[in-house]
Structure 1
Amino acid sequence: MFHPDPMGTGTLHIDLTALVDNWRALDRQSATDTGAVVKADGYGLGAGRVSKALAEAGVRTFFVATAEEATALRASLGPDPVIYVFSGHMDGETQTLSDLGAVPLLNSPEQVARHQSQLPDHPFGLQLDTGMNRLGIEASDWSPAMSQDATLVMSHLACADEPDHPANAAQLKAFLDMTAGILAPRSLAATGGILLGPEYHFDMTRPGVGLYGGLPFAGAKPVVGLDLPVIQTRTVDPGEAVGYAQSYVADSKRVIATVSGGYADGLIRAMSSTATLYAGETPCPLVGRVSMDLITVDVTHLDDVPTHLSILGPQQSVDQLADAAGTIGYEILTSLGHRYTRSYA
């Protein structure tokens, strides 16, 4: 059976009110300033719309991954908010950083030297490596004198989503040791760090995934819903197979819905035969392999096949979907494709 529908792609529902409420809830957790991380196009939800909603709620400091992201964000926000760039001052970015008024978080002695020689009067921050071994100035290269005139000195926790992990206390001690006596404002806590308590808050917190409804902020309001249109249904007889590699074989007569959405839309292949979609409150299993544009869903138990099935919403969070796919909510959010119609509320 063919199901005519004016929209051939899914609708991604983004609740900006819930997102702002999540920022306010995390802001209340500390007595410090609270920024917002909007890298990766606002965790896949549209950095322009996300950052404008947050700015209207009072956010004045934003964090992005790269100078290119800062360019787009400045165009959306105008000249006033502070935009920090995690990748620092890369070779060839001097003019861009200067034009944008974006603040690089310098990650190495080489970046410090580059910034001092090429933009000596331009604001900068510093990122310290306290044990994650990813970005930041190592203790052996660090001198507190580097922080003179810095607008922020930060580090990042590797295991903040596990409150009892010993790395949290170890990184806190390393950060305290490296920054003892400096006058610059300090920042250590993203979402997970905020939830670890006041000793991790310092002068600025910078929530990211919690704003968008993700763990470890269990109290977050859901921000994202995703409805996918049913294109076609068919009856499959016992012994017939569905999809690539014929990985699903019906053991009885089944009604299979072909649904618009696939790995090109962020529904990763690891969801094959493991994820669940919903018709209202009724779960419907994804069967067979996820393909580029389509998935197949068992709807045998429904009285009527709906025009859409939901894969994200009140019935299933990004982290629950991630669990089914053996990944994390971050990957689900940031993989959501650009073919979806986006509906903001």
Structure 2
Amino acid sequence: MVESIGLAIGIIVVTTGAVWLGSSWLESASEDLSAYYGLPQVVQGSVVAAIGSSFPELATVVVSALGGALGIGTGAIVGSAIFNVLVIPAIAGITTEEDIDASRTLVYKEAQFYMLAVSALVITFAMAVIYEPVGGTEYITGELKRPLALVPLALYGLYLFIQAQDTADHVADPEAGAGIDARRQWGYLLAGLLVILVAVHELVGAVETIGAALGVDEFIMGVTIAAGATSLPDALVSVRAARDDRGVASLANVLGSNTFDLLVAIPVGVLIVGSWTFNFALAIPMFAVLTLATIMLFTALRTDLALSTAESAALLVAYLLFVAWVVLDTATSVVSVLPEVGG
């Protein structure tokens, strides 16, 4: 067992590096294509860069769904959302010399729509438990089927419609996309997506191996290990944007990535497999943490419409406390909130 775990850890390290490489190509191409097509900064961050940097999470859901382990993919989505909200803004804020500027559009549209996305997904899970309950289990269990999975997707359609309206009102700088070879950038983007897809396929297998060897539930493995590995692209995009003094794009990428992950990636997994049976008692505590993390970020951004170094540090501490809680809850008897479903 030790050898298999060691090999799986090695695979995770290698595939994480591959995800980072593919994401760097994807991020650079997304930025150049946004400039070439004259998209506003907030749309560039919340849609183009966000969807691109969220591809690892989407690939994780697809690969895990096809492999019969959708819990890993879903756990990676929720864990990645928590990581994105707390760690990425924190790293961007700590590594830059000045506060990261936000905007009223970011706070009152992006942040609030993201909070709506979290609520919509929780309601979708609750509806699955109410209308498609699964009996014979120790905990509250529901079955999420394709018709319910269409609800979050419809909400993301509304999000894209709002962004399209903002794009139509935007006056682009005619010189912003000068000298950009659009075909070459599309090539880099597709190559990055391919590298990420292959790497994530191996990553999911390695995470599944470790979870089975240690007797840890696949959802928890997704929330921790898979989430951290697949969140690298979002971190890369946001930190680079913050260092380039594009604070709005940096923060919009975080919120846009999470909106895409919650409203698109999880439903896509359900659409692929047809239905997914989940443990509501395990999912809801994670959604509660995600909600609290979102409130923390929203409060920090609304204060002076900027993210200060002190606020960034507070977000990072909050994530470390979250990780400590998950470890203590799953590996020891010190804390007992999550149901013991792994062993």
Q: Which interval holds the TM-score relative to the shorter structure?
A: under 0.3
Give the TM-score normalised by structure 2: 0.26
**Larger CA Rg, structure 1 vs 2:** 1
Higher relative contact order (CA 8 A, sep 6+): 2
More strand by share: 1
